[in-house]
Chains A and B, each alone.
Chain A
Amino acid sequence: MATTTASLSLTSSDLFADNLSISTSHQLNKAGTTIGLDQTTGLNRVYLTATTNVDIFTVPGATKDGKKSHVYIANLSTDETEYITVTIGDKVIGRLYAQDFLWMPWNQQAQHLSDLEIAPSVATGMNVEYMIIHEGIVLTTAADS
């Protein structure tokens, strides 16, 4: 097992009359246990030059329904008008504008319906980073032709 910690700090000094300060941290464990997640895709970085909706993590066949995964996605663009639309299957989670990130659990519930997909808003080139820390994903069967 491994020990991996994910922390979040949410702060603002002018959103309210009082300061906003939310801080949380948790250890990434396998589903229903206190055993640490021990697999990862590593941090991927891609440069997308089309507005095509593409899979970044797919559930190609047998699912891992109920297994634990945590997903990180960041839009590295510096143009505030550029965004990626993040979807799970046919459901839009939302838009990540320049420098935005998300952190969320992922349940590989159903073949392709649970695929994580991104679509850039422009075709002029956009860097995106993503990573999963997980307890099992299904790899695509090799095809040589």
Chain B
Amino acid sequence: MATINATVSVNSNDLTSNALSLSKTMTLTKAGSNVGLELTSGLVRRTFTSTNHVDLVTAGAQNYGTPTASKANKIYIKNTGSDSTQYFEVGLGTSSGSGTPTADSIGGTHLAIGRLYGGDWMLIPFDGSATTGDITVAPSTSEKMTIEYIIFFE
């Protein structure tokens, strides 16, 4: 087993009348146990030069292994850019493989989670089941944009 720690900190002195200071640490463990996750995709870096809506991670077998669905898998994704107007729309479901983010079939085969603008990141559990589908991304521009992600899984 391995010990992987993730700590999120959210701070603001002026969002509310009292300062916000939230900090939370988790150890990434296997489902229902205290045994640490020990498999990973490694840190993957991908560059996009079109607005095509594509799979970032598919459910099922990968070249680094097969994340077991509906466990305690986690995925970290970051838009490495610095442009505050350019974003990746991250979603769940099936990619169209082409077209634009607005071609999403809401409530059908794809549903947007949210947008990662330059420098934004997310850390979420990764269900990885066929019913949830893949994790998809759609860049907002055809200018060169880069995303990084890493999956920790069992």
| A positions within 8 Å CB-CB of B | 2-15, 20, 22, 24, 26-27, 29, 31-34, 36-38, 40, 42-43, 66, 68-69, 71-72, 74, 80-81, 83, 86, 88-97, 99-107, 109-110, 113-114, 131, 133
Contact = CB atoms under 8 A, between A and B. Distances in A.
Interface in B1-59: 2-16, 20, 22, 24, 26-27, 29, 31-34, 38, 40, 43
A23 to B, nearest CB: 10
A32 B10 contact: no
A105 B117 CA distance: 10
Given A92-B127, A97-B32, A102-B124, A34 B84 contact: yes
10 contacts: A12-B2, A26-B119, A26-B121, A32-B84, A38-B15, A71-B114, A92-B92, A97-B32, A102-B124, A107-B113
Interface of B: 2-16, 20, 22, 24, 26-27, 29, 31-34, 38, 40, 43, 70-74, 76, 78, 84-85, 87, 89-90, 92-93, 106-107, 111-117, 119-129, 131-133, 150
